[in-house]
Structures are given as structure tokens and as C-alpha cells.
Amino acid sequence: MIAANILSIKEKLPADVALVAVSKLQNPESVLEAYAAGQRHFGENRAQEFAFKQARLPADIVWHFIGHLQTNKVKMVVGKAELIHSVDSERLLWAIEKEALKQGIQQDCLLEVHIAVEESKSGFSKEELEALISQPEFRRLQSVKICGIMGMASFVSDEQQIRAEFRRLKHIYDRLQQSVFAGNPDFRYLSMGMSGDWPIAIEEGSTLIRIGSQIFTKTD
């Protein structure tokens, strides 16, 4: 079932859109089922659960960290996740920089942007993002590589609203790519789209979708 779910999503993916299978709350056996179907990119949203699974699952899995990360847990994720999608505060950004510097590595990250109406969702507002990137310190990041942005649309059924939010995120992405990150090939990911809204996200320019329930929930 998991294999079939992955295949049916992959069939519809344009060549330039990557699939992250969100394995949070799934046991290692289910992850292995997806792995056997050829899936290599997996996403986790809790540091502890991520560490637990990474230790027990094949070493060639490419892990994505997609959840809110507390600064006191950066050690558990930096250098272990290929891409951290959820850098949602300046404090976290500097904590990751410090840890990556200490480890002597480069950590790929995305800045999370708040596009939904729900206050509960995290991320930089457009204004906060602008304030961040205009700081001289931002240009002095050595060990964090900013590879793009991530966002989550509102949890609503109104397709027009979801589309408008994704379009806003794409617009922010394009503006950054043409300004601060102009000519920077590292800046290449627009992470948007989940089980309920990924076809819309792709139409609006997503390059990375994060799918959990549509892969791991049995449907028949």
C-alpha cells in the first residue's frame, strides 16, 4: 500500500519537483516499506524521534528536518539532517550557525515563512524576513547555507485561499532569488505542499513537496 501510494504521487510529479516522505509518527518498519519502494528522502519533525529513526534505518536515507526546532536541541539535528526546512527565528538561525561552525560543517537550511492565517503556525513574516536579510550579520553566515524557503498554507478547504498563499510564498522566493541570493546556485528550494494541497503547490511553483498521510495512511 505504501509503495503504491508513493508511485501514484511520483507519477504526477514534474521532473524538477522532489518528494520528501514525512515519516513522523511512523514506525521504522513503515519507513522501510517506503525505502523498499525506492524512496530515499524522509522528513521528521521532532529531534528525538529523528535521532531514534536515523540510528535504526539505512545510512543512505536522506533526512529532512521539517518541524519546530528548539535551540537546545540543534546538536541533535545539525550535521545529521541534509536539509533543515524549518528555520523560523533568528535565534535558531544563529544557534545552527554556531553548532555547524563547531562541527566544521556546512548545514543546508530553508527559512520558514509564515503565510497562513493561523497564528499557531510558525515562520518569519515578510517584514521579519526583510529585517533579517538586511542585517550585516546575515551576510557573515559561514556555516549555514540558505538554500531556499518553506511555508505551510492555511488548513482550509478554500482552494483559492491556499493558492493565493502559495503564490505569495513563490513571489517572496522569486524576489529573494533576484536580490540577496542573485547568482547563488545554493538558493534553489521552494518547499511547499502537503497531502491536502500539493497539486496546487506544484502549479504555483513548488520544487519540494512534503507528504505524510497520503503515503503512510492506508486507504482502500
Ligand X SMILES: *Cc1c(COP(=O)(O)O)cnc(C)c1O
Q: Which residues of the chain form contacts with ligand X (CB under 6 A)?
A: 22, 24, 45, 66-67, 152, 194-196, 210-214
CB nearer ligand X, residue 143 or residue 208: 208
Give strand ranges (E) for 2-120.
18-22, 41-44, 62-65, 83-87, 107-114
Which among 149, 211, 215 has a CA at the least distance from the CA of 180?
149
The CB-of-134 to ligand X minimum distance in angstroms stands at 27
The CB-of-112 to ligand X minimum distance in angstroms stands at 8
The CB-of-214 to ligand X minimum distance in angstroms stands at 6
Residue of this chain nearest to ligand X (CB atom): 212
State the Cα–Cα distance between residues 125 and 113, nearest whole angstrom.
6
**Cβ neighbours around 72 below 10 Å, total:** 9
CB nearer ligand X, residue 4 or residue 131: 4
Burial 120-145 (b: 16+ CB within 10 A, else e): ebbbbeeebbeebbeeeeeeebebbe
The CB-of-136 to ligand X minimum distance in angstroms stands at 31
CB nearer ligand X, residue 47 or residue 152: 152
CB nearer ligand X, residue 24 or residue 40: 24
